């Protein structure tokens, strides 16, 4: 579960960085990339440690695979995942609104210029 959450955080970080750089020409994430990468490793750790400390891990008895029950997985995996997806959707909707606004601005007739 930890590796999946780390990959989710790093993937979201890279996609948001690419999105902000290409669409808005903003280097907000790029300038803080080192700190955000470290944060991307510690945030999932803060979600996995309570499960490990409370011993809510289930071992089905075969191999070295460990599972968590659905009651435990929801607050520690699915809720953060849904928050990440909602943020990504809002970012894309904001981008669409930005692109529509720019398109309307470029297609509007410009007033005559005074020389």
Which residue ranges make up each domain of the chain?
2-107
pLDDT of 45 reads 87
Angle formed by the axes of helices 2-19 and 33-53, to 10°? 160
pLDDT for the residue numbered 3: 84
Among the ranges given (9-13, 23-27, 38-42, 73-77), the one the predictor scored with the smallest mean pLDDT: 73-77
**Confidence at 49, pLDDT banded by 50, 70, 90:** confident
* Pair of tokens at residue 101: 């606004």
């Amino acid at each position: 579960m930890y590796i999946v959450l780390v990959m989710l955080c790093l993937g979201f970080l890279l996609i948001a960085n690419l999105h902000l750089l290409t669409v808005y020409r903003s280097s907000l994430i790029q300038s803080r990339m080192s700190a955000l990468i470290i944060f991307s490793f510690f945030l999932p750790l803060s979600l996995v440690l309570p499960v490990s400390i409370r011993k809510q891990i289930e071992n089905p008895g075969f191999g070295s695979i460990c599972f968590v029950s659905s009651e435990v997985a929801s607050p520690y995996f699915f809720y953060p995942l849904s928050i990440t997806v909602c943020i990504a959707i809002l970012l894309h909707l904001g981008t669409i609104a930005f692109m529509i606004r720019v398109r309307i601005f470029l297609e509007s007739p410009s007033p005559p210029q005074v020389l």
